[in-house]
């Protein structure tokens, strides 16, 4: 059992075998005590008995900060319309090459109709309050055929 405490209060936790998960824990201004705690469940003896924290990012309110992971899944040939959420309004966005049929406007709306299946990686630039945050991002375009066959079959 892995948990995160802020000033003695549990704010997030993870237990059991899970996949990668993205969490945002907002912490107010000022001095705080932040602790990661791992506790072994004595009633179960199987499993790997560990927890992983892949990334911790401390962000100020003036700096760009994304609220969700930057990987979007869409179906090839279907419409995509996704607003990239930031912590505060007023951010502008830029990017490298996107999948054919997709675009990203200055307000962070990723839209279009992607046509080629696959995972398309690019860097996303977020500009806010004079600061730039560059993060790796991906659009996973899924082939609609297996989905249609599974529903019909």
Please indicate, yes or no, whether residues 130 and 75 belong to a single structural domain of this protein.
Answer: yes
Contacts 24+ apart (CB under 8 A), 30-35: 32/6, 32/7, 33/5, 33/6, 33/7, 33/8, 34/4, 34/5, 34/6, 35/4, 35/5
Burial of 74 (0-12, 13-18, 19+ CB in 10 A): buried
Domain end call among 28, 56, 84 = 56
Q: Is residue 39 part of a domain?
A: yes
Task: Look up the CATH number of the domain holding residue 86.
Answer: 2.60.40.10
Q: Tell me the average pLDDT across 116-138.
A: 83
pLDDT, one tens digit per residue, over 133-145 is: 888 888 888 888 7
Please indicate, yes or no, whether residues 44 and 112 belong to a single structural domain of this protein.
Answer: no
pLDDT, one tens digit per residue, over 38-83 is: 887 666 666 667 777 877 776 655 555 665 667 788 888 888 888 8
And the tokens for 29? 């201004």
Q: Is the pTM of this model over 0.85?
A: no
| Residue-number span of the structural domain to which 106 is assigned | 71-147
């Amino acid at each position: 059992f892995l948990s995160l405490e802020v000033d003695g209060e549990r704010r997030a936790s993870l237990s059991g075998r899970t996949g990668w998960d993205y969490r945002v824990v907002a912490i107010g201004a000022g001095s705080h005590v932040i602790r990661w705690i791992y506790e072994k469940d004595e009633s179960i003896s199987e499993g790997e008995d560990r927890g992983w924290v892949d990334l911790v990012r401390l962000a100020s309110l003036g700096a760009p900060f994304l609220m969700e992971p930057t990987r979007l899944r869409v179906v090839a040939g279907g419409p995509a319309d996704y607003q990239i959420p930031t912590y505060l309004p007023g951010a502008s966005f830029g990017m490298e090459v996107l999948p054919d049929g997709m675009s990203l406007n200055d307000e962070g709306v990723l839209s279009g109709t992607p046509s080629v299946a696959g995972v398309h990686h690019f860097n996303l630039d977020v500009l806010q309050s004079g600061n730039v945050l560059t993060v790796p991002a991906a659009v996973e375009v899924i082939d609609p055929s297996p989905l249609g066959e599974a529903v019909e079959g």
